[in-house]
């Protein structure tokens, strides 16, 4: 079943969309050589004044998590962010919208932002960490919302701990990366550049993608220094290391062999140039998900937070129906 944001049913066949080639080589060149940046005349924005909780995990390590209380008795929502992002970059502009209906839990995942370090990144470990965070916060079950990389981790969490997932909202994520030639080319280009990444020459890679989004959005320009500082906590070598595990995953067979997965909804971005819409449609079909379509690119959370909030809330409502 496919819905738009007004709840109307729309055809499930792929929409035509403009296949503008994504300037990957330009992104890499800017990351290596440095490039024109957005204007720096604006004052540095302060960090978000939202509550943090020190969460003690089962292995004795601790991490910092957001917990924003919502209505009593409502299912909590756990937010898992995308590749190179932080929880605040991905979700801070919709925290209030979500917290009006649910207690919101968010944190920086391994290798990202202020997240834990040590050992190679894996989506399996990311899902285990999410379950550990729920344990530490005393949450038995939650609706899990995952964007991009976080969407893959949401599926992993539902496969490994279905009793902990009251519903899953997958956003702009594929079941398997690297099925498009362009994606494979970018991945192998990054792998070849790994020696440069170890020297720090690719450390601007995590934030370069967002430069143009900030240039086109006055509010983001105002917060650019904060945004860049958030994304700069991840270095280029870590970003490539995460992709190593992403490109090893194929959730299609595992999802097909797990008919008892929690109810799913899928936020599908019809203009996405990073996770192509055909891959998103295939994931939504495999999950048997209610689809909420949005005409937007992969930068939706920052480019149009009000639309992103509406789509996320519509998907959360769908998994509770």
Predicted TM-score (pTM) of this structure: 0.87
Q: What is the pLDDT of residue 111?
A: 97
Residue 278 located in a structural domain? yes
- Report yes or no on 297 lying in a domain: yes
- State CA 168 to chain mean position distance: 13
Judge residue 173's burial from the number of C-beta atoms within 10 Å of its C-beta, 0-12 exposed, 13-18 middle, 19 or more buried.
buried
Within a domain: residue 78?
Answer: yes
266 contacts 2 by C-beta, under 8 angstroms: no
74 lies in some domain: yes
Q: What distance in Å separates the CA atoms of residue 252 and residue 264, rounded to the nearest whole number?
A: 15
Which pLDDT does position 42 carry in this prediction?
A: 31
For residues 185 and 164, the model is more confident at 164
> What single DSSP character describes residue 14?
P
The two three-digit tokens of residue 17, written as one number: 């969309």
Q: What confidence score (pLDDT) does residue 19 get?
A: 39
Hey, is 170 helix, strand or coil?
strand
Angle at 303 between CA 299 and CA 305, to 5 degrees: 105
DSSP code, position 176: B
Give the pLDDT mean for 47-72.
Answer: 88
What pLDDT score was predicted for residue 20? Answer: 39
What pLDDT does 14 receive? Answer: 41
Mean pLDDT over each residue of the chain, to the nearest integer? 87
End-to-end CA distance of the chain: 13
Instruction: Report pLDDT for 48.
Output: 57
Helix (H, G, I), strand (E, B) or coil at 208: helix
63: in domain: yes
At residue 23, the pLDDT reads 46
pLDDT in the model for residue 240: 94
Q: Is residue 170 part of a domain?
A: yes
Q: Are strands 77-80 and 142-147 parallel, antiparallel or unpaired?
A: parallel
How many domains are contained in the chain?
Answer: 1
- Predicted local distance difference test score (pLDDT) of residue 101: 97
Pairwise CA distance, residues 227 & 211, whole Å? 10
pLDDT at res. 2:
55
pLDDT of residue 150: 98
| Residue-level pLDDT at 49 | 61
pLDDT band at 1 (very low <50, low <70, confident <90, very high): low
**pLDDT number for residue 271:** 97
Close Cβ partners of 6 (under 8 Å, ≥ 6 residues apart): none
Q: Is the pLDDT of residue 27 over 50?
A: no
**Owning domain of residue 123:** 43-178+251-320
Contact 154, 129 (CB under 8 A): no
Encode 262-284: b = buried (16+ Cβ within 10 Å), e = exposed. bbbbbbbbbbbbbbbbebbbbbb
CATH code of residue 85: 3.40.50.1820
What pLDDT is stored for residue 207 in this prediction?
86
SS3 107: strand
Helix extents (H) in 94-235: 95-99, 123-136, 149-160, 181-192, 194-199, 205-208, 211-216, 218-222, 224-231
Alpha helices in 250-303 (DSSP H): 251-256, 277-287, 300-303
What is residue 180's predicted lDDT score, i.e. its pLDDT?
84
Q: Residue 156 to residues 7, 159, 168, 180: CA-CA distances in angstroms?
A: 28, 5, 11, 22
Distance CA 8, CA 5 (A): 7
The answer, yes or no, to whether residue 41 has pLDDT greater than 60, is no
The pLDDT value recorded for residue 205 is 83
Does 25 have pLDDT greater than 60? no
- Determine whether 53 is exposed, middle or buried from the number of CB atoms within 10 Å of its CB (0-12, 13-18, 19+): middle
Our CA dihedral for 308, 19, 228, 168, rounded to 10 degrees, sits at 40
Q: Is the per-residue pLDDT at 144 higher than 90?
A: yes
- Span 99-140, pLDDT tens digits: 999 999 999 999 999 999 999 999 999 999 999 999 999 999
- Does residue 137 belong to any structural domain of this protein? yes
Question: Does residue 233 register a pLDDT over 70?
Answer: yes
User: Is the confidence at residue 217, as pLDDT, over 70?
Assistant: yes
pLDDT over 60 at 45, yes or no: no
Q: Which pLDDT value is given to residue 3?
A: 52
CA atoms within 13 A on the CB side of 218: 0
At residue 78, the pLDDT reads 98
As beta bridge partners, residue 264 has 168
For residues 38 and 237, the model is more confident at 237
Residues near 68 by Cβ (< 8 Å), separated by ≥ 6? 50, 51, 95, 98, 99, 103, 104
């Amino acid at each position: 079943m496919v819905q738009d944001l007004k709840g109307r049913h729309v055809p499930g066949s792929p929409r035509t969309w403009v296949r503008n080639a994504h300037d990957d080589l330009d992104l890499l060149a800017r990351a290596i050589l440095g490039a024109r940046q957005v204007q720096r005349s604006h004052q540095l924005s302060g960090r978000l004044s939202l509550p943090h909780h020190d969460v003690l995990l089962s292995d004795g390590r601790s991490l910092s998590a957001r917990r924003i209380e919502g209505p009593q008795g409502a299912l909590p929502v756990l937010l898992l962010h995308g590749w190179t992002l932080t929880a605040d970059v991905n979700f801070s502009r919709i925290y209030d919208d979500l917290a009006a209906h649910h207690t919101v839990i968010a944190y920086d995942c391994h290798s990202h932002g202020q997240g834990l370090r040590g050992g190679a990144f894996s989506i399996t470990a990311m899902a285990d960490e999410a379950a550990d965070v729920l344990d530490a916060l005393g949450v038995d079950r939650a609706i899990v919302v995952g964007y991009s990389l976080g969407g893959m981790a949401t599926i992993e969490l539902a496969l490994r701990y279905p009793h902990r997932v009251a519903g899953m909202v997958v956003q702009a994520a594929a079941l398997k990366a690297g099925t498009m030639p362009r994606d494979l080319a970018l991945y192998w280009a990054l792998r070849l550049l790994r020696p440069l990444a170890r020297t720090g020459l690719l450390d601007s890679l995590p934030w370069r993608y967002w430069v143009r989004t900030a240039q086109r959005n006055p509010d983001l320009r105002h917060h650019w220094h904060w945004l860049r500082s958030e994304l700069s906590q991840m270095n280029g070598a870590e970003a490539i290391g995460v992709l190593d595990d992403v490109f090893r995953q194929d959730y299609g067979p595992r999802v097909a062999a797990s008919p008892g997965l929690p109810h799913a909804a899928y936020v599908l971005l019809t203009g996405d140039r990073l996770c192509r819409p055909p891959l998103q449609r295939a994931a939504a079909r495999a999950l048997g998900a209610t689809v909420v379509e949005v005409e937007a690119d992969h930068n939706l959370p920052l480019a149009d937070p009000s639309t992103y909030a509406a789509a996320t809330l519509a998907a959360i409502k769908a998994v509770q129906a």
